[in-house]
């Protein structure tokens, strides 16, 4: 439901940081990279069996017309959670879904789903850019955490703790301040602090202890901000893509993001040959550029997830960063076939589902 969207999105990041700590333990005990890769590969084998345990998304099944399959999964979820499954509410949901299909009979699949409207294209391109830059920045900064301290294992451990702290802060603020303002704040501050490296390196003596301390503080702040924006964009993008094209949209963003991660790690090698801190300046510059484009995205907190591209068209894009389009009563009613909208409008009792 809408109340659990943030938790289900951020809990992935907690395990991500936890995985870094597990990796650190393995790397400390296994010093051969061949044996380390083998051990990590063996550790991942049990996760293959999750395919037989994790159910398909009921929301996705309903959007594809697999109503009986979705009902079976929802009934199973209700049984496991000790909740009451409201058949009437589910029947109403299906009737509304069928009305929507009759209203928009032409269906698109794959990438064509994201090319149905100008607003959807703008959001898709914008999110791809945001993911590209966030992976460029996150992995570029994270690769240098081993150089924070003399002992690379302790430095990596400190970097993982800073990352975990960023996820906790994101978890605390996203439902209070929304998605867009915290994201824009994290990205803008990253760009700002990245440029502090220039005066510190240019104006302070080379072997100054104060310079070393200031650079350590800047690196910790950059890691914190990069981790925070990295976590938010995963949640934000999932709430901006409609159900009928969410898999395609996130898949496209993830593919583009991999190029960002590759370029980020290469930048630490190639650009550092020009100047040791040149990569940080580049990361800061790209962050300041992308935050401008992020301001046109609509706010998504406490709003029903869009089911179709037509829902995205109703939401639209916005400017400036803190102002979102207000839906009219008619537009809200047009989105009333969303099961999430119904849960926002009429919260169920504690032991009810659907």
Least confident range from 7-16, 19-28, 338-347: namely 338-347
Average pLDDT value for residue range 168-186: 94
CA dist., res. 180 & res. 323, Å (int): 10
pLDDT (0 to 100) of residue 322: 43
Task: Calculate Rg over the CA atoms of the chain.
Answer: 23
pLDDT value of position 225? 97
- pLDDT by residue (tens digit) across 258-300? 999 999 999 998 998 999 899 999 999 999 999 999 999 999 8
Spell out the domain ranges in the chain.
2-345
Phi, psi of 208 (to 5 degrees): -70, 130
Beta bridge partners of 84: 352
Q: Please state the CATH superfamily assignment of the domain spanning residues 2-345 in this structure.
A: MFS general substrate transporter like domains (1.20.1250.20)
d(CA 324, CA 316): 9
Ramachandran angles phi, psi of 155, nearest 5°: -65, -45
Report the percent of the chain where pLDDT is more than 90. 52
């Amino acid at each position: 439901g809408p109340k659990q969207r943030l938790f289900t999105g951020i809990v992935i990041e907690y395990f991500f940081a936890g995985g870094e700590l597990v990796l650190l333990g393995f790397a400390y005990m296994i010093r051969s990279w061949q044996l380390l890769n083998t051990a990590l590969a063996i550790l991942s084998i049990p996760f293959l069996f999750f395919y037989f345990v994790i159910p398909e998304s009921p929301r996705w099944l309903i959007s594809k017309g697999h109503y009986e399959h979705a009902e079976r999964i929802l009934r199973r979820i209700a049984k496991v959670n000790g909740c009451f499954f409201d058949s009437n509410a589910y029947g109403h949901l299906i009737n509304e879904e069928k009305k929507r299909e009759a209203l928009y009979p032409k269906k698109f699949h794959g990438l064509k789903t994201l090319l149905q409207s100008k607003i959807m294209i703008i959001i898709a391109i914008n999110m791809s850019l945001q993911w590209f830059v966030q992976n460029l920045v996150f992995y570029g900064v994270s690769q240098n955490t081993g150089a924070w301290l003399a002992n690379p294992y302790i430095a990596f451990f400190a970097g993982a703790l800073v990352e975990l702290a960023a996820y906790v802060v994101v978890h605390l603020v996203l439902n209070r301040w929304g998605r867009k303002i915290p994201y824009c704040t994290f990205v803008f501050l990253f760009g700002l602090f990245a440029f502090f490296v220039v005066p510190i390196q240019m104006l302070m003596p080379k072997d100054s202890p104060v310079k070393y301390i200031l650079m350590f503080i800047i690196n910790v702040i950059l890691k914190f901000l990069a981790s925070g924006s990295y976590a938010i964009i995963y949640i934000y993008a999932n709430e901006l893509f409609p159900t009928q094209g969410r898999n395609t949209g996130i898949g496209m963003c993830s593919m583009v993001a991999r190029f960002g991660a590759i370029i980020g790690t290469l930048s630490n090698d190639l650009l550092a040959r020009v100047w040791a801190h040149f990569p940080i300046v580049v990361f800061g510059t790209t962050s300041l550029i992308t935050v401008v484009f992020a301001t046109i995205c609509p706010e998504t907190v406490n709003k029903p997830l869009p089911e179709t591209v037509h829902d995205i068209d109703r939401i639209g894009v916005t400017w400036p960063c803190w102002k979102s389009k207000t839906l009219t009563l008619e537009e809200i009613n047009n989105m009333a076939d969303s099961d999430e909208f119904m849960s926002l409008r009429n919260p169920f009792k504690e032991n009810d589902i659907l």
